[in-house]
Structure 1
Amino acid sequence: MKLRGQYRSTILAMLLLATVINYIDRSALSIAMPFITHDYHLTAGEKGVIFGAFSIGYAAFNFLGGYFSDRFGGRRVLSWSMTGWSIACGLTAAVSGFWSMLLLRIMFGMGEGPNAATANKVVNTWFPINERASAAGIGQSGGPIGGALAGPIVGFLALAFGWRAAFIVMGLLGVGWVVAWRRLSTETPAQHPRVGQAELAQIDAGQEPLRPGKNEKVSIREVVTTRSVLTTGISLFCYNYILFFFITWFPSYLVDARHISLKDMSLVSSLPWITGAIGYMSGGFIVDAIYRRTGRRMMSRKIVLVTSFLISAGCIALTGIVDQVWTAVTVMTVAIGFLMLAGPAYWAIIQDSVPRHQVGTASGFMHGLANCSGIVGPVVTGFLIQSTGSFVSAFILAGAVGLIGSLILACFVNSKEQVAAPAPA
């Protein structure tokens, strides 16, 4: 992926930063939850409902955000999204108990919902075919980077200034990103004065042309009934079940089940995110390297995704039954690294499955379907822990869900496409 001297590297850097902020904001509640529980005496069931409430708004606006990005443009929708969730994040500092936190968490999810699908639309607009998985991988690697930073940043702010201060600081950071994004980006490369003809030729090579303001009508029915889109969405549901289980419950697991201090939890919980960032970046490059060598787009996506997802599912189940806390952290770190390695392939599969004018809608539908797991998973986990008094069954269930997700994609997404000439390096 050769971006030196190319303006699309600036766009990619902004997408990366947006996702970093997204995941710090998203993870902030999990990190701050032990502090919030101390103030409001929340039960495990109530915490599970609050964690799950995020995905009520998030899943709905995954789809709507992707659809709007096809209609109004990725640049505009990404601006709306960041502004909305930053305001909701800042307002979290004003909650007074369970119900106000529940409402704001739904609003927060609505704001964050469009981010991933809209970013995938921007990648499709700004990057050539043989760079898409790498670009998606780098951009989405901001998730685990943000997750790794969330523990130290939110933990420090909560310990030093109170947990409310952390949410105010992160809200202001998001608003600052929006100002920079509006100044640095345009809807298409052709509209940007710093994008030269040589770069435009690279981006457009082998792709159907973009027609700003004249896009074909997006057929939602056509998108929803595409087998690869539906199957990939179901598989991503299983992927996100593990991800939301980790985001929402792993910090509490370390404190409640492994009895480490809040200060140590803030640092230890960041370790899996570090390997996750490496995994997400590596996954995109590996997918594109296989594609350039073989010319088989779908095969390059599936081989990385299925293998990595299977390893991750096994490690997740193992985490719940090992004896030592550092062994559990190590196994979880490996699990999240391989989970993130699989991530870029999902976004690449969607881009390969539909025409360019439907990429935002398809991405949003897939992501919305997938994030229904964020409603179900944290709530099921909370009541499972409350009824059994242990985290073991929750870890084993998450591993089983991951196994199902990898096998569904392996069996039902078609990889028998015509072999093309190897893609240009």
Structure 2
Amino acid sequence: MHDDTGLLQKKRVWIYAFLFTLTLINYIDRVSLSVASKVLKEEFNISPVAMGYLFSSFVWLYFIALIPMGYLVGRYGPKKVNGYGIGVWSVATACTALSTGFISLLSCRLIMGAGEATTYPAGARVIREWMPLRERGMATAVFHSGSLVGPAVGAIGFGWLITAFGWRIAFLVAAALGFVWLAAWLKWYSHPSKAPWLSAEEREEISGHGASSQAQSAAIPALGLSGLARSWTMWAIALSHGCAVYATYFFLTWLPSYLQAEKGLTVMSSGIYTAIPYIGAAVLAIVIGRLSDRVVRPEMAESGQRRVVVASVLLASSVIFLVPALENTWAILMVITLSLATCASAVSLNLSLVNDLVRAEDDVGTAAGFITAVGNLFGLLAPIVTGYVVAGTGRFAPAFVMVGVLLVVGAMLSMFCTRRPVGAIQPGAVALG
């Protein structure tokens, strides 16, 4: 155990703030089109089918760009690559305000998706550089929790802006948030070894055992994408990640429809009821991440023991099995909150597990891009498969069961297939997990 009561007095708390607000802004911009969809459909006469393509278009280039962005983070560092990323997606968000129809909206969403692909590879590398190993679980949970708070804040804030000032002003305000973040990032972010505002004592604490441990990690030769893709450990983490992401996309896309169709809630009340699990999950995910750091000591983390926590939260998330058997709406929301929180924890802890097991620092961004790409492939399938299941059976129960089965499979993959480190253990020796 260790005493972390003084974390808020540490200067690296600003890196936590950067990480959280990065994904917060990312997801506010992602949800913006959904919030504005009714107004856009009316103004530009966009059909439901065309709107469906607009909703999915964000993911097209995002998915393709994830692994290349991870490589660029490894080569050029997170400050430069992530700076370009948020700059590009903020420009695309601003340009959305100038849209004149379907084609211009589609173009803006495609560019935005490509820009946002820098977020998770860069965030994983920032955590590797800035956080002592004993803090990585909580740091990754804080980073990922922005993706839970973002949809709730975006839905409420963007909705108010559209109502008060119109949809074009709303997109400009969303873009401005990104530019403000970028200005702060360029001014204050740097590697801990170069940050002038960091004390020598804290710099020593971050590096673990002094500069030698960071130098050792930096000296290990990178495997690159081809080497990472030959690792069974990487594939097990990626597939486990996919199971968790499938569940989170299921919640993101179908939860309001489920509450409206089977629980008789109105659109407004279902929106409020949807926001509750996300806010609760954000808090619980940070708590779980912190607990994982307390339970998994640094030497245990380096040997892959964090996988036990990943498997445990995935298994806990399979409580979603219970939803079809429940009648009380609040009981359902409690179960969904627990499932969503543990799913979110699995996503963030898998990113921590990558940092634990990938030995070469330059491979971290590529590895994070790899598992995020696989996860988003599962995420792309979730709303489509669920749609077919609901259409074919007329009920949501089989869809909930399918999600629960995948979460159990993900838990088994984490527990039994993510044991070995990925990369060189000794100079000249390579372990591909």
Relative to the length of structure 2, the TM-score reads 0.84
Task: Provide, for residues 262-307 of structure 1, a one-character-per-residue CA deviation record: whole Å limited to 9, x for no partner.
Answer: 4334432211111211122112211110123984555642222112
1:372 aligns with 2:360: no
Q: Separation in 2 of the partners of 1:143 and 1:368?
A: 16
**Structure 1 residue identity aligned to 2:400:** F
Q: Answer 1 or 2: higher relative contact order, Cα 8 Å, separation at least 6.
A: 1
CA distance in 2, matches of 1:416, 1:183: 36
Match of 1:71 among 63, 71, 75: 75
Partner of 1:172: 176
Equivalent residue number for residue 23 of structure 1: 27
Deviation of the 1:231 alpha carbon: 1.1
Alpha-carbon contact 1:27-1:247 (below 8 Å) kept: no
User: Secondary structure of the equivalent of 2:214?
Assistant: coil
Shift of the 310–100 alpha-carbon distance from structure 1 to 2, 3 Å rule, reads farther
Structure-2 change in CA distance of 1:38 and 1:313 (3 Å) = farther
1:182 aligns with 2:190: no
Q: Compared with structure 1, are the counterparts of its residues 28 and 406 closer, same or farther at alpha carbon in structure 2 (3 Å cutoff)?
A: farther
Contact 2:127/2:139 (8 A) holds in 1: yes
Match 1:153 to one of 154, 157, 160: 157
Deviation by residue 1:304-338 (Cα, 9 ceiling, x = unmatched): 211211222331x4435644544433332222122
Task: Name the amino acid aligned to 2:176.
Answer: L
Aligned equivalents of 1:320, 1:41: Cα separation in 2: 35
Match of 2:354 in 1: 350
Instruction: Please list, as runs of the form range in 1=range in 2, the aligned pairs for 1:181-330 lying within 5 A after superposition.
Output: 181-186=185-190, 188-206=191-209, 208-210=213-215, 219-255=224-260, 258-292=263-297, 295=300, 297-298=302-303, 300-315=305-320, 317-319=321-323, 322-330=326-334
1:406 to 408, 411, 414: 411
C-alpha change, 1:295 and 1:320, in structure 2 (3 Å) is same
Distance 1:101 1:126, change over 3 A: same
Tell me whether 1:6 sits opposite 2:10 in the alignment. yes
Contact 2:304 2:353 in 1 (8 A): no
Q: Distance in 2 between matches of 1:33 and 1:402?
A: 32
Between 98-107 and 401-410, the greater mean CA deviation after superposition? 98-107
- Alignment of 1:113 with 2:120, yes or no, is no
Shift of 1:167: 2.9
| Residues 42, 98 of structure 1: 8 Å contact kept | no
Shift of 1:349: 0.9
After superposition, give the CA deviation of every residue in 1:117-156 in whole Å (9 maximum; x if it has no partner): 2111011111222222222122222221223322322332
Call closer, same or farther: CA 1:399–1:104 in 2, change over 3 Å: farther
Measured in 2, the distance between the counterparts of 1:33 and 1:109 equals 18
Paired residues in the alignment total 414
Distance of 1:416 and 1:61 partners within structure 2: 26
- The amino acid across from 1:63 in the alignment is I
Q: Call closer, same or farther: CA 1:251–1:101 in 2, change over 3 Å.
A: farther
Question: Which position in structure 2 is the counterpart of 1:420?
Answer: none
Task: Say which SS state the counterpart of residue 397 (structure 1) adopts.
Answer: helix
The one-letter code matched in structure 2 to 1:221 is: S
Cα gap change, 1:81 to 1:92, in 2 (>3 Å): same
For residues 323 and 56 of structure 2, the distance between their equivalents in structure 1, rounded to whole angstroms, comes to: 22
Q: Of residues 82, 86, 110 in structure 1, which corresponds to 2:86? A: 82
Identity %: 27
How many Å separate the matches in 2 of 1:265 and 1:10? Answer: 35
Note if contact 1:52-1:378 (Cα within 8 Å) is conserved in structure 2.
no
The alpha-carbon distance between structure 1 residues 258 and 157, as it changes in their structure 2 partners (threshold 3 A), is: farther
Q: Is the 8 A contact 2:305 2:419 kept in 1?
A: no
